Amino acid sequence: MNNIILCGFMGSGKTTLGESLAEHFGMELIDTDKEIEKRENRSIADIFSSEGEAYFRGLETELIKELKNRENLIISLGGGLAANRVNHPYLKEAGRVILLECSVEETLRRISGDATRPLTAGGREDIVERYNKRKPIYEEVADIVVDSSGDINRTFNAVISIL
Ligand code: S3P
């Protein structure tokens, strides 16, 4: 099977679903956030605070350019990767893009006050604004859209039945 790419806003369930899909299909999981943290040997929060967001975005683009040349991967993207149109051609080349769409209320419940995510520091209004701005951009690149507002098993079953 070719690569399966999970995209969506922070808290949409990409990481958890990625783990379940990788186990189910016996495929390797690459979580772009974890991969970047491993290569940089520091946390996302550290990268943002010492190098700034643009540096992190550059790392994301380099990584997806590299991953498009590999096969049989479940790729779970950091929330900003598919929100950056520069990455869309690489994502389309890399595999089938599944967008996990979680309601804004549930998203806020899941991510508000999470210190490991630098972009939640601006609070609820800022998160909602970012969510609304990104939604259509995610939809542009998605091959499949799945509602992930419910529990993870429901999302897992929905994705499996589509695949
Ligand atoms: C970001 C989402 C995070 C991480 C970074 C930036 C974003 O990943 O890449 O904090 O811009 O939405 P998750 O979506 O896994 O939280």
* Residue 31 CB–ligand 1 contact under 6 Å: no
Q: With contact defined as beta carbons under 8 Å apart, do 130 and 82 qualify?
A: no
Residue ID of nearest Cα to ligand 1 atom 16: 10
Query: Is the CB of 137 within 6 Å of ligand 1?
Result: no
CATH code for the domain of 104: 3.40.50.300
Q: Is 80 touching ligand 1 by the criterion CB < 6 Å?
A: yes
Rounded mean pLDDT of 107-116?
Answer: 91
**Residue 42: domain span:** 3-162
pTM: 0.96
- Token couple for 159: 């994705």
The count of structural domains within the chain is: 1
- pLDDT tens-digit map of 54-95: 999 999 999 999 999 999 999 999 999 999 999 999 999 999
